[in-house]
């Protein structure tokens, strides 16, 4: 009897111990890293586009910059500014919406929305500019019954069929002061850019499952998507306060028909920032309404030197026709570091941009362009690695110039297919400038 009792007690204690260990493994997940962080270098300094003219040409403006938008593309272009030049850039959106019905026929109304991105004033060879960052939100959902897989900071897997990624830059501001001067066929310029403000990124993933996310349900009316059961959602929040400055240097060689531009971005920089990150999810197996939180201490950085980049551009100026080709963001700091200078297969080659501008009338120009990331890839195992362009994005646009005033419009990527006679929905970039 005593032997049986001992066996029973040991068995019970073993089960309790096993359950305790399992429970601890579920509750106290390790915390090795982060997920969905802010890429701070994307904002330092922020590139807003500066001019819809160059955006329509794939962003190839390093060699052709010659107005107030030169602060964005190449400060040496300010050497070609005469008198006063004003320019402004905005992200525009047109939508055709049903506002009512009349005799069974829908009544439509066009709605316009503009988000300012850039404004600059150039007085002779001196310019001041203000840039307002903007990143469009991403919200996607699956209606096919499938799902995506993501991993928490501790690599814990979780599935979701609704995803939202919102970066808030409304409190982040960038101010630039630039100047340029000419020495014969060579123009030299410099920018001083000051960055101040806050940026945050909130990422949400939710597993609604079959039949749970339907029109009219409680989830549909919950903009924050916070209602849950269990094993259903994760939330990632990253916040940063930024304060600092960068210096860019630029040059343009003007040989009449041929122009060559060079920009050394972040030639010098000094950035201070504070960063706070938190991850929150309820994917705790076997527990109802239990949350796992990863909230590391706030990080403080001072005197950060940003990575330096080279932009090189070549343009052929035939008067009514202009062709441009740029290599942007060739990472000098990384590629020429002690570890990587002799390993071109690891280099960050940057972005290749190309564009064309044709003046079909003295006051009307049509433009087109493309850009994509350059990578060194082994396309054929029997041959050495070759440079390849990936993530190709197309752009189109037009511009009107008359009596010192100009208006330019550009459309990028998938939005090109939305161009139609009725313009039911279209996102575009517009800029206007005036010369006095």
From residue 147, alpha-carbon distances to 142, 232, 234 in Å are: 7, 12, 14
d(CA 351, CA 271): 25
Q: Which residues contact 115 (CB under 8 A, 6 or more apart)?
A: 90, 91, 92, 132, 134
Q: To the nearest whole number, what is the mean pLDDT of the chain?
A: 80
Candidate from 10-19, 26-35, 392-401 with smallest mean pLDDT: 10-19
d(CA 370, CA 22): 54
* Per-residue pLDDT band at 344 (split at 50, 70, 90): confident
Q: Which residues lie across from 410 on neighbouring strands?
A: 397, 429
d(CA 418, CA 414): 8
CB count within 10 Å of CB 111 equals: 10
What's the confidence (pLDDT) of residue 286?
52
Q: How far apart are the first and last CA of the chain?
A: 107
What's the average model confidence in pLDDT over 348-354?
Answer: 84
**pLDDT (tens digit per residue) in 210-262:** 444 444 455 555 544 445 445 678 888 999 999 999 999 999 999 989 999 99
CB count within 10 Å of CB 368 equals: 19
Q: Looking at the predicted structure, is the pLDDT value of residue 311 above 60?
A: yes
Q: Which residues contact 169 (CB under 8 A, 6 or more apart)?
A: 43, 132, 133, 134, 135, 199
* Per-residue pLDDT band at 396 (split at 50, 70, 90): very high
d(CA 385, CA 377): 5
What's the confidence (pLDDT) of residue 207?
79
In 156-298, at which residue ranges do the beta strands (DSSP E only) sit? 157-160, 162-168, 172-183, 186-206, 233-255, 258-281, 292-294
From residue 237, alpha-carbon distances to 29, 40, 149, 211 in Å are: 19, 14, 19, 28
Q: Which residues lie across from 100 on neighbouring strands?
A: 107
Q: How far is CA 377 from the centre of its chain?
A: 24
Candidate from 38-42, 164-168, 237-241, 326-330 with smallest mean pLDDT: 38-42
Q: Looking at the predicted structure, is the pLDDT value of residue 26 above 60?
A: no
d(CA 369, CA 355): 4
DSSP one-letter code for 345: G
Nearest residue to 359 via CA among 398, 387, 320: 320
Note if the pTM is more than 0.95.
no
Q: Looking at the predicted structure, is the pLDDT value of residue 192 above 60?
A: yes
Higher pLDDT, 331 or 389: 331
**pLDDT (tens digit per residue) in 60-103:** 999 999 999 899 899 999 999 988 999 999 988 888 888 788 87
Determine which helix (DSSP H) or strand (DSSP E) holds 3, and give its type and residue range: helix 2-27
d(CA 409, CA 430): 4
Residues making up the chain, counted from first to last: 436
């Amino acid at each position: 009897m005593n032997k049986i009792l001992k066996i029973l007690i040991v068995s019970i204690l073993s089960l309790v111990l096993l359950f305790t260990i399992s429970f601890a493994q579920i509750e106290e997940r390790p915390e090795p890293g982060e997920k969905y962080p802010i890429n701070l270098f994307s904002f330092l300094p922020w590139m807003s586009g500066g001019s819809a003219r160059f955006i329509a040409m794939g962003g190839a403006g390093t060699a052709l910059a010659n107005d107030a938008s030169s602060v964005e593309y190449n400060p040496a272009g300010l050497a070609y500014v005469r008198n006063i030049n004003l320019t402004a850039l905005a992200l525009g959106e047109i939508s055709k919406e049903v506002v009512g019905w009349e005799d069974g026929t829908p009544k439509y109304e066009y709605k316009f929305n503009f988000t300012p991105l850039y404004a600059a004033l150039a007085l002779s060879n001196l310019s001041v500019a203000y840039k307002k960052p903007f990143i469009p939100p991403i919200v996607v959902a699956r209606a096919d019954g499938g799902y995506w897989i993501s991993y928490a900071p501790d690599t814990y897997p979780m599935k979701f069929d609704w995803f939202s990624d919102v970066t808030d830059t409304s409190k982040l501001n960038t101010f630039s002061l630039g100047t340029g001067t000419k020495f014969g066929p060579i123009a030299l310029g410099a920018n001083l850019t000051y960055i101040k403000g806050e940026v945050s990124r909130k990422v949400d993933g939710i597993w609604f499952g079959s039949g749970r996310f339907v029109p009219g349900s409680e989830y549909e009316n919950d903009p924050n998507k916070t209602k849950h059961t269990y094993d259903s959602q994760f939330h990632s929040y990253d916040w940063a306060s930024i304060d600092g400055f960068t210096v860019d240097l630029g040059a343009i060689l003007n040989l009449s028909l041929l122009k060559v531009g060079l920009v050394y971005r972040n030639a010098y920089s000094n950035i201070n920032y504070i960063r706070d990150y938190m991850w929150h999810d309820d994917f705790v197996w076997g527990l109802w309404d239990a949350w796992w939180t990863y909230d590391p201490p706030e990080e403080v950085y001072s005197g950060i030197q940003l990575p330096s980049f080279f932009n090189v551009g070549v343009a052929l100026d035939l008067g009514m026709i202009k062709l441009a080709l740029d290599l942007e963001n060739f990472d000098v700091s990384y590629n020429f570091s002690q570890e990587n200078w002799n390993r071109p297969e690891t280099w960050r080659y940057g972005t290749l941009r190309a564009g064309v501008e044709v003046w079909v009338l003295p006051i009307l120009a049509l433009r087109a362009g493309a850009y994509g990331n350059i990578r060194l890839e082994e396309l054929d195992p029997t041959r050495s690695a070759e440079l390849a362009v990936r993530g190709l994005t197309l752009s189109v646009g037009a511009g009107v110039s008359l009596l010192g005033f100009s208006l330019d419009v550009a459309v990028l990527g998938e939005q090109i297919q939305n161009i139609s006679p009725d313009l039911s929905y279209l996102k575009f970039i517009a800029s206007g400038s005036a010369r006095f």
